[in-house]
Amino acid sequence: MASQSSITVKLPTIQLPTFDGNYSGWIRFWDTFTSLVHESDLSDVQKFHYLNSALKGPAARVIQSLGVSDSNYHIAWVALKSRYENSAALRKHHVTALLDITIIQKQSPIALRELVDDARNHLAALRSLNEPVDSWDSLIVPILCRKLDGASLREWEKKATSSDRVAFNNFATFLEERSLYLENITPQGQITVARVNPPVGFAGNRRPFHSTTHVTSSPGNCPACGSVHPLFKCDKFKSLPIEEKTRVVQTSQTCFNCLQPGHRVKACTRNHCDLQ
């Protein structure tokens, strides 16, 4: 009979939440810390160590004068709860944050998802504070509509005209579907490159000119006539007026002094000018 071997599965470590005194994170911190630490079988001094490590900034200052001990843990816990479990302040924070959700200037799948996530988080927090958010649809949806980009708003108005009362959940579903649509039609790996001014002296900084001499030449061919000889030996080039010669040299990016490619006048070692 084959022996059965037990398989031990190591679950990932649960990271304790941190709290820096921002009201937006209080409810989540309170619920998570309570379930993982406060109501656990750890000793009070161990709980205090975990609490100390989880608090940052203004929240940490609430209990910084208390020494780490069994008796001080409950004092610290009550002090923290008294400071931040302020229902009026929490309501004000989440309502204000809901009203201040960033306006989307240009249609973007990421921005639409962030809008939905932010709205849901603030409404969930208000619901936990016993606010009747489920009856706020007629107020919340128009507020959030004002945060949409023009194209998304037009699509929503087409969809919403047939309904007298629109539920927030329907609005959120629309935004999620539109976000997915925008994501699907956006080319993968699309990169927006900022325009950079070319350095001084770069050809792109010069005024464009229109040459009456149009010669397509391959490397080694004369830019004036297309034959296989250097420009300074070209009879056609020599017969051109000085204005046309200048244009041929400019378009072929050859040296104005020796009429050979690969360098500019400043780097030319010839002492005479072949342009005349």
Q: Which pLDDT does position 259 carry in this prediction?
A: 77
Kindly state the average pLDDT of the residues 48-70. 91
Q: Which pLDDT does position 250 carry in this prediction?
A: 73
For the chain, the domains span: 23-85, 88-185, 221-275
Specify the higher pLDDT residue, 75 or 224. 75
Q: Which pLDDT does position 103 carry in this prediction?
A: 92
Kindly state the average pLDDT of the residues 98-127. 91
Asked whether 123 and 98 are in contact (CB, 8 A), the reply is: yes
- Say how many C-beta atoms besides its own lie within 10 A of residue 271's C-beta: 7
Tokens 């000085």 found at: 242
Q: Which two tokens stand for residue 110?
A: 């990421």
Q: Which pLDDT does position 5 carry in this prediction?
A: 52
Kindly state the average pLDDT of the residues 109-119. 93
Q: Which pLDDT does position 112 carry in this prediction?
A: 93
User: What is the per-residue pLDDT across 86-112, written as a single tens digit (0 to 9) for each?
Assistant: 888 889 989 999 999 999 988 889 999
Kindly state the average pLDDT of the residues 242-255. 75
Q: How far apart are CA 247 and CA 210, in angstroms?
A: 8
272 pLDDT above the threshold of 70: no
Q: How far apart are CA 201 and CA 123, in angstroms?
A: 58
Q: Binning pLDDT at 50, 70 and 90, where does residue 73 land?
A: very high
pLDDT, the chain, mean: 78
**Helices 44-54 & 26-33 angle (0-180, nearest 10):** 150
Specify the higher pLDDT residue, 223 or 276. 223
Q: How far apart are CA 174 and CA 103, in angstroms?
A: 17
Kindly state the average pLDDT of the residues 183-196. 51
Percent of the chain with pLDDT over 90: 34
Asked whether 248 and 261 are in contact (CB, 8 A), the reply is: no
Q: How far apart are CA 182 and CA 106, in angstroms?
A: 12
Q: Comparing 2-6, 74-78, 258-262, which segment has the lowest mean pLDDT?
A: 2-6
User: What is the per-residue pLDDT across 155-167, written as a single tens digit (0 to 9) for each?
Assistant: 998 887 766 678 8
Q: Which pLDDT does position 217 carry in this prediction?
A: 43
User: What is the per-residue pLDDT across 12-49, written as a single tens digit (0 to 9) for each?
Assistant: 667 788 999 888 888 889 888 998 899 889 999 999 99
- Say how many C-beta atoms besides its own lie within 10 A of residue 234's C-beta: 19
Percent of the chain with pLDDT over 70: 76
Specify the higher pLDDT residue, 220 or 140. 140
Kindly state the average pLDDT of the residues 177-186. 87
Q: Binning pLDDT at 50, 70 and 90, where does residue 187 land?
A: low
